Chains A and B, each alone.
Chain A
Amino acid sequence: MELNPYFEFIPSALANTALLTVSALSVGVALGLVVGLARIGPVGWLRAGAAVYVEVIRAVPLFVQILYLYYGVGYLIRKIYVPSPFVSATVAFGICYAAYIAEIFRAGFQSLDRGQAEAARALGMTRRQAMRHVLLPQAFRNILPALGNEGVALLKDTSLASVVAISELTQVGGALTNKLYKPFEVWTIIALCYLALTLPLSWAVRKLEARLRVRGAAHPA
């Protein structure tokens, strides 16, 4: 009898956590690639802008960034556009994680052999073609494990989205506690739900890392 509320709320909370993670990570990777490229690109003011972005974002707590975007910026633009909590949180996570992911991309590109870019350019490829067909695939392969780790960290950080009333795991945990007065059971279940998501993910990242190491040895860059 007592189990009913769990079955009612937990699955959708799990789904929301997963959905928030996936959408925020997509924003973070796309934006992170753009910022990372700007950071190593030929245009001076873009390089500087990207560096400032990375420094500022990494110096402000993520929790504050979520509040800032939803309440602060949300208030400012309320007459033009009222984003849903989900959209607002996705953007906040995306912007924040992009700063870290940009640094990962930057390191990924800088670790590539200079001869790769030269070979591409010597064949007549433009900068863009060399980036798209030669450098990016290699850099991406190299940083995939690091991106996976960011994904795991982001999944845990989505618990902060409870503050803007998204029905993800943590928010639902609070609601169920108020409803059932069984805090120990509720939070145990919530913690187990996070474990059920993060453990397989970290395991997959480690597997991938090991496989890339083996393949990397077979195909030296």
Chain B
Amino acid sequence: MSAAPLIRLNDIHKSLGGKEILRGISLDVARGEVLCVIGPSGSGKSTLIRCINFLEIPDRGTIEFDGCVVRPDQPLDAHRARVGMVFQRFNLFPHLSVLDNITLAPTRVLGLESGRATKRARELLDRVGLSDREASWPGELSGGQQQRVAIARALAMEPQAMLFDEVTSALDPELVGEVLAVMKGLAREGMTMLVVTHQMKFAKEVGHRVVFLEGGRVAEEGRPAEILEAPKTERLREFLGHFA
């Protein structure tokens, strides 16, 4: 089988605003693996995920993708194009229709011909259950619908991995399920996923592995059942207590 991990972080350090947020993170994500990242607010979850597609440039340490070290002094666009990212606040382009949101990057970045980009976008909209909304504006959609469009937009680049940063945290509770269902489907198809989440049920059901981040370090790591049901550290026990 594919022994080499798709993503490998070696001793990543990152400071923001004079404060060291990531303090030496080493982590492998295997191909097809769903890795869930949990941890208290401010523990560096977003910073970690943003380092992987270099929205934040690590101060120290290396990131390997598909066996090669990604060099931050080289153009990063090609790297970013093969890693999809979904944000907590959707960040759809409000001046473009749903369809154009999805086709923009494939046509401009990949040079996909517009007819094929449209076809791909329609397939993806169908997959996230929004076939009837391709002509809508983002502002006309519910939060759950916007987030599903955002997932389709990222998938349209046919990425090798997907990063999710608390993608259901800005949603009304009744809209969370429709987004998680799409992510579950992706996981089932073997997408490599790094998921920052507070949805412990999702982590348990869908995740292959869970990482507990605390103070910019990996404090615990293991299979979801171990981490979520038999936490070893007091800190994780306390953290999980908030979700009981």
Contacts and interface: CB of A to CB of B under 8 A. Distances in A.
A122 B93 contact: no
Contacts of A115: 87, 89, 91
A77 interface: no
Interface residues of B, number: 30
A221 B94 contact: yes
Nearest to A138: B95
Q: Pick the most buried of A113, A116, A124, A133: most chain B CB atoms within 10 A of its CB.
A: A124
B198 interface: no
B39 interface: no
A140 to B, nearest CB: 9
Contact of B105 (A124, A137, A221): A124
Nearest to A112: B94
A141 B96 CA distance: 12
B218 interface: no
Interface residues of A, number: 22
Contacts of B85: 119, 122
Contacts of A129: 108-109
A121 interface: yes
A177 interface: no
Contacts of B81: 123-124
B78 interface: yes
Contacts of B140: 218-219
A146 interface: no
A129 to B, nearest CB: 5
B225 to A, nearest CB: 32
A124 B95 contact: no
Interface string A126-155: 100100011001100100000000000000
Interface of A: 113, 115-116, 118-126, 129, 133-134, 137-138, 141, 218-221
5 contacts: A115-B87, A118-B55, A124-B77, A125-B109, A219-B94
